[in-house]
Amino acid sequence: MGLKQALIIVMLSLSVGTSFVQAGSPKDIQDRGKAMLRDAEEMVMHGGMGDGKAIVHHCGEVAKHAEAILKALPPTDEHGKEAVPHLQEAIKQCKRVAEMGDKVDPGASLNPATKARAAAREAMKHLNELQDGGA
């Protein structure tokens, strides 16, 4: 594993445990989700063009958004609870992409990138249902 991949993995790992965010407003969470989806779409688009560096970059952004959303979800909102496994799946798939790095054939990293995008899309279906008050 190269230095760049190791740094990406460390950055993803550190971002999981370092911030203490209280539940965010549904609009803030949904806006973060929209940014996550934009990065997911960019990631797969660049993957189709064979740009491994862009896949790794955008997948890192998807994971960062997903982690922030997980921290901001209201604990009592059912829609938020339903989004959690999909957000976790997006993070998991993006960690796979980071481990592969940008030197592999972009086709190889496109598979987990596509899975991360699918998970992000599914999470957004639930996040779009969040309402003020958390119920």
Q: pLDDT of the chain along its 135 residues, tens only? A: 565 564 455 455 544 443 334 578 999 999 999 999 999 999 999 888 888 899 999 999 999 999 999 999 998 899 999 999 999 999 999 999 999 998 888 889 999 999 999 999 999 999 999 876 544
Residue 134 placed within a domain: no
CATH number of the domain to which 77 belongs: 1.20.120.660
Number of structural domains the chain divides into: 1
- pLDDT recorded at residue 46: 87
- pLDDT recorded at residue 1: 55
Could you say which DSSP state residue 22 is in? P
Alpha carbons 121 and 36: distance in angstroms, whole number: 9
- pLDDT recorded at residue 57: 95
Residue 35 placed within a domain: yes
Which residues form the domain of 72? 25-127
The pTM of the whole model exceeds 0.75: yes
Which residues lie below 8 Å from residue 77, measured CB to CB, with a gap of 6+? 130, 131, 134, 135
Residue 133 placed within a domain: no
Alpha carbons 29 and 53: distance in angstroms, whole number: 27
Alpha carbons 90 and 67: distance in angstroms, whole number: 10
Nearest to 63 by CA among 100, 108, 93, 20: 93
Contact 111, 59 (CB under 8 A): no
- pLDDT recorded at residue 3: 53
Residue 90 placed within a domain: yes
Residue 14 placed within a domain: no
Residue 83 placed within a domain: yes
